[in-house]
């Protein structure tokens, strides 16, 4: 995503520079200034000068929206994925539940222990079936 963002920044800055270079009131006189404008525009800091050419205004508007969505969207998605990853592992929850129940054996009733035994027996049968399938391959 970062590579895409950099490529788009370079392309939009070049388009912005080409659209502004013919305008007499333009504040951008070099490609370097257009690159700076591109960073200032999508960073939403409010320090980017308003383009004077209509095409540059259109390109600038598209870049501000696209750049901001890509940049901040990537940050939000990365942080969200980092914190949600442990919750996306259901087998970890199953193991934690079994471990918790094993720690609580003394507090369980006979009916609960029977249910736990049935569950573990089913789990063992399932594991054996998986092992047989893998050994046939």
Q: Which of 69, 94, 92, 55 is nearest to 5 (CA)?
A: 69
Task: Report the CATH fold assignment for 2-86.
Answer: Helix Hairpins (1.10.287)
Rounded to whole angstroms, the Cα distance separating 26 from 38 reads: 15
pLDDT in tens, 26-48: 778 888 888 888 888 777 666 66
Domain with CATH 1.10.287.70 in the chain: 2-86
Residue range 120-127: mean pLDDT, rounded? 92
Rounded to whole angstroms, the Cα distance separating 2 from 10 reads: 12
Instruction: Give the pLDDT of residue 99.
Output: 82
Q: Which of 24, 28, 104, 95 is nearest to 60 (CA)?
A: 28
């Amino acid at each position: 995503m970062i590579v895409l963002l950099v490529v788009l920044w370079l392309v939009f800055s070049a388009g912005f520079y080409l659209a502004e270079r013919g305008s007499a009131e333009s504040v951008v006189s070099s490609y370097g200034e257009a690159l700076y404008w591109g960073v200032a525009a999508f960073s939403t800091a409010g320090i980017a000068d308003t383009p004077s050419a209509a095409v540059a205004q259109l390109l600038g508007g598209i870049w501000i929206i696209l750049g901001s969505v890509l940049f901040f969207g990537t940050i939000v998605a990365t942080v969200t994925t980092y914190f949600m990853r442990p919750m996306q592992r259901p087998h970890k929850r199953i193991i934690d539940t079994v471990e918790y129940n094993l720690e609580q054996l003394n507090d369980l009733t006979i009916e609960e222990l029977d249910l736990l035994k049935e569950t573990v027996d089913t789990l063992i049968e399932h594991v054996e079936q998986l092992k047989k399938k893998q050994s046939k391959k």
